[in-house]
Amino acid sequence: MTKNHGKQIKDDAKYEALRREGYSKEKSARIANTPDSGKKGGKSADLDERSKAELLTEAKKIGIKGRHKMTKENLIKAIRS
């Protein structure tokens, strides 16, 4: 049974699975809280092909701080990490 991590974590099971795989608490929380994290399939454009506005939207979804000050290249690196 998964532990309830409170309101900060939306998907407790996913969070715990990521922690077991060795992800940091911050990254596990970010992934577990992403609205689309449980969905499979679909094709999205390569990050390199997206506009800066699209990258900013994606960065907002996953909770990257300081995203508005980042260049397109830095946004891509932050989203991938």
Domain hosting residue 69, numbered range: 43-81
Question: Which comes out higher in pLDDT, residue 6 or 70?
Answer: 70
Distances (CA, A) of 63 to 1, 2, 3: 27, 23, 23
31 and 1 inside one domain: yes
**CA-to-CA distance for 35 and 32, rounded, in angstroms?**
8
Q: What is the pLDDT of residues 15-61, one digit of tens each?
A: 888 889 888 888 888 888 877 655 555 555 688 889 999 999 999 98
37 and 48 inside one domain: no
As for how many domains the chain has, the answer is: 2
1 and 37 inside one domain: yes
Predicted local confidence at residue 36, as pLDDT? 65
54 and 33 inside one domain: no
64 and 50 inside one domain: yes
